[in-house]
C-alpha cells in the first residue's frame, strides 16, 4: 500500500510540470521521481521503526508485569477496555484470556472500571484507593488499587495494581500470641529480642522489672548477630535491691522461614546461687581430698548441661488436655509437640506419676497457688532424669477456663552432686565415730549413743544395761610382746566382742586403752549377764596366748554389768558409775570373772 501511494505521488508530480522541454522533461521527471520515492521510503521506514520500537517496549512492559507477584493490568483510560492482565491479576479478579485478548469476569464490565477510575482522572497516578469489585452475582472482593498513567499502543492507558487489604490476625493466632507472651512473662529468666540493627523489639516482664530505668545495661554489646563467637556470656551486675548478681546470658540468632537473619534472642539466667554453691563445693573439695575428683567432674558436667539445656514448658487445661508445649517438653513424654497437643495427661503419663501430679494440680487449679515439686523421669532412651517443676495457674482469656503452666528444669546433676556430698559427709561422720585401730565404735560414739538411749528409755521406762570390760594384765602383755603385737591383740579382742553383739541397736565401743563398753538397750540385768558369759566363752574359743597374765595362759577379761531404768531425777553418769563399781569388784576378786550391779545394790 505504501509503495503504491509513492508511485502515485511521482505521477502527480510529473503532471504538475507540463512546460519542460522533451529532453529536459525526461531527465527532470526521473530526478523528481527518485526524490519523491526516497521520501516515501523514508516515511515508510520511520513508520515501521516506530511500530517496531513500540512493539519492543510493549514486550518489555509485558515481561516485567508478568513477573510481578501482585496483580497488575493495563486498561484504556477513556473507556476502561482491558488491554493486558498478568497471571496474578487473572487469579485475583477472575480475568480470562482468549488468544491475545483479555476479558473481565461476568460481574465486571468496562463501564464499571471506567466509573471507578473516573474520579481519579485529575492526576497522573494514585495509591491505595480501596474499593469493592463485584466479580459475579455471588462474589465480591475488597481491593486496594494503585495506578500510573502511561502510553500504550499510542493510547492513554492506566497501569493498575490490585492488592487485598491486610487481614486482621485470626483469633487462634491472637490466642497463640497471648499465650506466648504469657509464657514469656511467667519466666524468671530475663528475655529480650533485638533486630539486626541491635534495636530492642520485645522483652518479658522479668527483664523490664530487673532493668527498670537502666535498660541499656542489660544489653549484650557488639554485633547483635555475631553470637557464635560468644554463645554464653557471664556478667556481674547489681539487682534492683542492690545485691550483686551473676547473670549467664545465652544469645541465639533468629531467622525467618527462608533462613534470613531477623535478629537475636537473648535469655539471661541468674546463676548467683549456682556460682556460690560451686564456690562452697570447691572449699569442701579442698577439705575432703577423697571427693575432689568427683566434685570436679560434677562441676564440669553441671556447666555443660547448663550451657546446652532448654527448659521444657507445657500448658494443659483443667481437664488435663495439653493446649501448648515446646519440643523439650514433648520429648520428655515421648512425643513431638504437634502430636502432643490435644492429648490428655491420663493417656500420656504413667498412672502412679499422674496421681502425684494430680495432687499438686489441685492446689494450682483450686487454690490458685504456685507449686514447686521434683519429678524423677525415665526417658524413652532409658536415661533417668530429675526435673525441678514449677506449676503456676493461668486462665484462658477467651473462655475463662483455668489451666496449668508447667516449667521444668533438668536438675539431675544437682541431685547427683547433693547425693555425693551427702555420702561424703556420711562417710566422714562414720569415720569420726569409729575407732581407727579396732574398727568398733569409739568413745565419742559411745557417749552420743548412751545419751540418746538414756532419754528414750526414760520416756519408755525400759531397762538399760551397760557392760564395762577390761583386758586382764594387758600392760604385761604389751611389755613382753611389744606394742605392735598388743595392737594386734586389741583388734582380735574387738572382733570377738563384735561377734557377740546380735541386735542392730546394741553397740560395742572402745572405751579407752584396753577397756571396752557394751550398750544393751531394753535389756534387764539377766540379759546383761547372758551377754557377759558369751563374751567369756567367745574369747576362750579365740585362745589368744598370754604367757604373762598370772591368771591363765590365754587372754581373759573382767566384766562389770549394771542395769538401770532411767528416771527424770537421774543421769546416765550414775549408770556408768554402777558398771565401773561392778568392774572394780570383778578385778578385785581375781579377774577373769563378771560382777553384776542393779539399782537397789549399794555402791
Give the active site residues. Answer: 514
Nearest CA to 266 out of 254, 277, 283 is that of 254
207-219 b/e (C-beta count within 10 Å ≥ 16 → b):
beebbeeeeeebe
Spatial separation of the C-alpha atoms in residues 230 and 243, rounded to whole Å: 26
What string of DSSP letters covers 516-533? EEEEEET--HHHHHHHHH
Q: Which three cell numbers stand for residue 99?
A: 488468544
Spatial separation of the C-alpha atoms in residues 201 and 198, rounded to whole Å: 9
Q: Alpha carbon of 405 to those of 174, 183, 370, 414: distances in Å?
A: 18, 8, 10, 24
3-class SS at 146? strand
What string of DSSP letters covers 40-98? HHHHHHHHHHHHHHHHHHHHHHHHHHHT-SSEEEEEETTT--EEEE-HHHHHHH--EEE
DSSP annotation of 24 reads H
Q: In what order do the strands lie in the sheet with 82-85?
A: 82-85, 71-76, 155-163, 139-152, 125-136
Straight-line distance from the first to the last Cα atom of the chain, in angstroms, rounded to the nearest whole number: 156
Q: Which three cell numbers stand for residue 170?
A: 485470626
Q: Which residues lie closer than 8 Å to 395 by C-beta, 6 or more apart?
A: 401, 402, 403
Spatial separation of the C-alpha atoms in residues 359 and 544, rounded to whole Å: 64
DSSP annotation of 320 reads S
What angle, 0 to 180 degrees and rounded to 10, lies between the N-to-C axes of helices 474-481 and 483-500?
A: 140
Contact assessment for residue 497 and residue 511, using Cβ atoms and an 8 Å cutoff: no
> Which H or E run contains 11?
helix 2-15
Spatial separation of the C-alpha atoms in residues 458 and 441, rounded to whole Å: 24
Which sign, positive or negative, has the C-alpha torsion 90, 94, 99, 103? negative
Spatial separation of the C-alpha atoms in residues 102 and 112, rounded to whole Å: 16
Amino acid at each position: 500500500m505504501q509503495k503504491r501511494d509513492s508511485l502515485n505521488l511521482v505521477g502527480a508530480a510529473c503532471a504538475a510540470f507540463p512546460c519542460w522541454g522533451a529532453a529536459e522533461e525526461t531527465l527532470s521527471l526521473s530526478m523528481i521521481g527518485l526524490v519523491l520515492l526516497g521520501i516515501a521510503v523514508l516515511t515508510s521506514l520511520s513508520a515501521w521503526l516506530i511500530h517496531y520500537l513500540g512493539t519492543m517496549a510493549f514486550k518489555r512492559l509485558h515481561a516485567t508485569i508478568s513477573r510481578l507477584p501482585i496483580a497488575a493490568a493495563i486498561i484504556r483510560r477513556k473507556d476502561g477496555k482491558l488491554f493486558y492482565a498478568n497471571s496474578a491479576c487473572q487469579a485475583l479478579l477472575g480475568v480470562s484470556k482468549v488468544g491475545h485478548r483479555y476479558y473481565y469476569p461476568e460481574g465486571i464490565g468496562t463501564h464499571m472500571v471506567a466509573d471507578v477510575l473516573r474520579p481519579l482522572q485529575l492526576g497522573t497516578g494514585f495509591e491505595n484507593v480501596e474499593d469493592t469489585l463485584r466479580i459475579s452475582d455471588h462474589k465480591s472482593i475488597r481491593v486496594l488499587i494503585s495506578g500510573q498513567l502511561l502510553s500504550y499502543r499510542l493510547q492513554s492507558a492506566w497501569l493498575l495494581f490490585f492488592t487485598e487489604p491486610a487481614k486482621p490476625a485470626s483469633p487462634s493466632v491472637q490466642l497463640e500470641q497471648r499465650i506466648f507472651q504469657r509464657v514469656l512473662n511467667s519466666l524468671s529468666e530475663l528475655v529480650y529480642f533485638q533486630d539486626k540493627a541491635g534495636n530492642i523489639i520485645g522483652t518479658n516482664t522479668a527483664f523490664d522489672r530487673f532493668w527498670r530505668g537502666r535498660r541499656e545495661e542489660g544489653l549484650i554489646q557488639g554485633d547483635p548477630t555475631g553470637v557464635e563467637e560468644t554463645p554464653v556470656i557471664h556478667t556481674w551486675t547489681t539487682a534492683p535491691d542492690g545485691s550483686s548478681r551473676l547473670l549467664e546470658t545465652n544469645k541465639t540468632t533468629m531467622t525467618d522461614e527462608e533462613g534470613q537473619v531477623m535478629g537475636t534472642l537473648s535469655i539471661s539466667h541468674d546463676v548467683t546461687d549456682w556460682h556460690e554453691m560451686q564456690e562452697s563445693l570447691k572449699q569442701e573439695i579442698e577439705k575432703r581430698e577423697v571427693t575432689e575428683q568427683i566434685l570436679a567432674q560434677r562441676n564440669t558436667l553441671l556447666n555443660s548441661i547448663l550451657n546446652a539445656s532448654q527448659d521444657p514448658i507445657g500448658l494443659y487445661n483443667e481437664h488435663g488436655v495439653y493446649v501448648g508445649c515446646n519440643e523439650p517438653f514433648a520429648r520428655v513424654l515421648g512425643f513431638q509437640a504437634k502430636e502432643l497437643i490435644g492429648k490428655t495427661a491420663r493417656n500420656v503419663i504413667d498412672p502412679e506419676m499422674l496421681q502425684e501430679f494430680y495432687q499438686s494440680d489441685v492446689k494450682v487449679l483450686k487454690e490458685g497457688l504456685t507449686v514447686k515439686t521434683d519429678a524423677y523421669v525415665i526417658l524413652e532412651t532409658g536415661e533417668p532424669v530429675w526435673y525441678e517443676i514449677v506449676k503456676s495457674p493461668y486462665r484462658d482469656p477467651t473462655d475463662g477456663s483455668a489451666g496449668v503452666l508447667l516449667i521444668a528444669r533438668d536438675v539431675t546433676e544437682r541431685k547427683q552432686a547433693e547425693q555425693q556430698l551427702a555420702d561424703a559427709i556420711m562417710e566422714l561422720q562414720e569415720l569420726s565415730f569409729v575407732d581407727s585401730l579396732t574398727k568398733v565404735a569409739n568413745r565419742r560414739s559411745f557417749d552420743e549413743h548412751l545419751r540418746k538411749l538414756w532419754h528414750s528409755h526414760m520416756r519408755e521406762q525400759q531397762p538399760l544395761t551397760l557392760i564395762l570390760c577390761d583386758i586382764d594384765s594387758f600392760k604385761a602383755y604389751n611389755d613382753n610382746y611389744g606394742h605392735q603385737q598388743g595392737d594386734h591383740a586389741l583388734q582380735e579382742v574387738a572382733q570377738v566382742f563384735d561377734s557377740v553383739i546380735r541386735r542392730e541397736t546394741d553397740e560395742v565401743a572402745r572405751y579407752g586403752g584396753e577397756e571396752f563398753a557394751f550398750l544393751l538397750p531394753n535389756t534387764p540385768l539377766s540379759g546383761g549377764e547372758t551377754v557377759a558369759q558369751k563374751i567369756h566363752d567367745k574369747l576362750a574359743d579365740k585362745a589368744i596366748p598370754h604367757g604373762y597374765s598370772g591368771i591363765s595362759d590365754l587372754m581373759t577379761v573382767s566384766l562389770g554389768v549394771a542395769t538401770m531404768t532411767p528416771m527424770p531425777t537421774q543421769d546416765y553418769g550414775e549408770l556408768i558409775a554402777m558398771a565401773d563399781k561392778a568392774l572394780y569388784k570383778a578385778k578385785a576378786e581375781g579377774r577373769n570373772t563378771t560382777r553384776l550391779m542393779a539399782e537397789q545394790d549399794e555402791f
